[in-house]
Amino acid sequence: MANCKPYVVGIDCGQKTTMGIVDTRGKIVATTTIKMTDYLEFEEYISGMAKSLRRIMAGVGGPQMIRGIGLMPISIQETLNIRQIFHGRVFFRWVSCCMNTLVSLWL
């Protein structure tokens, strides 16, 4: 079991984005939250999310201890709200941008 990765990450995206790490028994071992309204640009928000994830992952031994990441999609209403937060800019880069950020956590 030396190679077992005992944690998973869950991300609930939205105006208030909550991220957490859960162990194999379902116990929440770390959480963090960021608000989209704290960021002027979408890219800054994604960077803030990555920074927060790195911080809580460091608390459990780093990304090498993470088995996977679950990303809760944003609802249509959240998408409309987010477009307002980021000044009506096209928001449909979301999934691609998030995935690139999450993959970069392992680089």
pLDDT winner (highest mean) among 7-11, 42-46, 68-72, 92-96: 7-11
Residue 5 dihedral angles phi and psi, to the nearest 5°: -100, 105
Is residue 14 within 8 A of residue 78, CB to CB? The reply is: yes
User: Which domains are present in the chain?
Assistant: 7-104 (3.30.420)
Q: Which pLDDT value is given to residue 1?
A: 47
| 90: pLDDT strictly greater than 50 | no
Structure tokens at 16: 């208030």
Is residue 44 within 8 A of residue 51, CB to CB? The reply is: no
Q: What is the pLDDT of residues 19-77, one digit of tens each?
A: 999 998 999 999 999 998 898 887 788 889 889 999 999 999 998 999 888 877 666 55
| 15: pLDDT strictly greater than 90 | no
